[in-house]
Amino acid sequence: MLQTILTGQAKSFALLLFAIAAYVYFLPAILAFLKGHRHFFLILGLNVLVSPLQSVLLHLLFPGFMLTGPGVPPATTLLIALVTNLGLGWLLLLAWAFKPGEPNPLLLRAQNTKTYDALAALPLILWFVYGLLQLRPTLVGDASLILSGNAPLLNWVRFFSLTAAAGFNLLLVYLLVVRDKPVRKSRGLLPRFFAFAGTFLGVGILQFPVAQLSLGMQLVSAVLVGVGSLASVLVLWRLGKSFSIMPEARTLVTSGPYARARHPLYGVEMITIVGTAMQFIQPWAGLMALGVVALLVIRTIFEERVLSEAYPEYAVYRAKTARFIPGLI
């Protein structure tokens, strides 16, 4: 498993599902930390142990229930996994994490440090680094053909496209490490949900069968991905240390491309999304791409709410600046 990850051969969708499952499993400890729970470290320790403890107890009390193997239906295997990992012990931990009480000021202060911000970004950093690993084999193959002088036009265009995408991923990793601390964060679950969904729903497009495109359509698709990725690099470079996935206010940027549009990064990302969706079976890839675009629009609503709270001058900027495309949207 580790070898497939290090070589970029593991499926992004499978890794994403694993990350979501791990997040849900450690939700009691995460909530306890965010609330500054005075018993956070105890909850964290029990959270680590709750799955093996529940597994042992279920095996002792209901040995027949814990049988798994080739002949066991997938639904039964899923039920066993849910009961083992998210059983009564996990529910009690979750209830304890939600229990009101006087917070630990040390934990609350820790959440306002640069170290915490970097650690919170670590899963995203690993995700974008893995994206680079996945691009490497195709980039190396196209580069070899180009250097040999035998590369057709499609390989040249694809090499440009994927190089721009790799540059975008590299810049994302860099900014997640060096970005400023947030001065204000969104409140509630919905802003975080839409930020997460808008960031990762595009992975679903890659799960559809590849479309059989003509050479011309392959070139158009590769050009759109390359232009969108290159434009994303340029816009993201101007956004700089204000970059964030979640709706957060770090530093208000209103110059460069942000003088013409409030969300130029999302605008150019739409170009990449269209180019990517073209490569997969229709209409499903196109419908999912529309879903990603809809989520980007929803994300802007929550982001602007946070920016308006943090910066009173944002209202004037919003009134005179387009959302995505100057003069249109």
Q: Which region, left, alpha or beta, applies to residue 36 given φ > 0 means left and ψ of -120 to 50 means alpha?
A: left
Question: 114-320 has which fold?
Answer: Four Helix Bundle (Hemerythrin (Met), subunit A) (1.20.120)
- pLDDT of 149: 85
Residue-level pLDDT at 327: 58
Q: Give me the DSSP letters along 127-193.
A: HHHHHHHHHHHHHHHHHHHHHHT---HHHHHHHHHHHHHHHHHHHHHHHHHHPPPPSEE--SHHHHH
Quote the tokens at residue 53: 């403890």
What pLDDT, on a 0 to 100 scale, did the predictor assign at position 177? 92
Given a contact cutoff of 8 angstroms between Cβ atoms, the answer to whether 222 and 288 are in contact is no
- Model pLDDT, residue 263: 94
Domain borders along the chain are: 9-110, 114-320
Q: What is the pLDDT at residue 8?
A: 58
- The backbone region for 281, taken as left when phi is positive above 0, alpha when psi lies in -120 to 50, beta otherwise, is beta
Instruction: Write down the pLDDT at residue 204.
Output: 87
Low pLDDT (below 70) residues in the chain: 1-9, 64-77, 327-329
Radius of gyration of the chain (CA): 23
Query: C-alpha angle with apex 103: 97 to 107, nearest 5 degrees?
Result: 90
**Cα–Cα dist 173/259, whole Å:** 25
Q: What pLDDT does residue 72 have?
A: 60
pTM of the model: 0.86
At 5 the pLDDT is 57
